[in-house]
Amino acid sequence: MKAEYDFSKGKRGALIPAKGKTRITIYIDDSVLNEFRARAERMGTGYQTMVNEALKAFLEKNEQPVTAAVLRQIIREELPEGSRLTRRSTGRVKTARR
């Protein structure tokens, strides 16, 4: 064994990178998770696989990417007129009055 090792060119992370999948942590409503688990149990598959398939199906169905403009339009449609927020020149947010 050497007295000293040089790690200056070392890289952090897994020695063998995973291909095609990434481990993440997300928060899902308990009721949604329980439903996926129950369905997976009935079908004899994993609930994470079912969640992944559901997300893929959603993305295929909704080809339009969620851009800032699309998100703003959705918010305008969903929020009542009086509850919208506007940004002041100072950067502070205030409720719009119309």
In the chain, domain spans: 30-82
d(CA 17, CA 86): 45
**CA–CA distances in Å: residue 88 to residues 92, 93, 96:** 5, 6, 10
The whole-model pTM stands at 0.48
Q: Report whether pLDDT(93) > 60.
A: no
Report the mean per-residue pLDDT for the chain. 80
User: How would residue 94 be classed by pLDDT, with cut points 50, 70 and 90?
Assistant: low
| Closest listed residue to residue 33, CA positions, set 47, 19, 23, 52 | 47
- Contact assessment for residue 84 and residue 95, using Cβ atoms and an 8 Å cutoff: yes
Cβ partners under 8 Å of residue 98, min gap 6: 81, 82
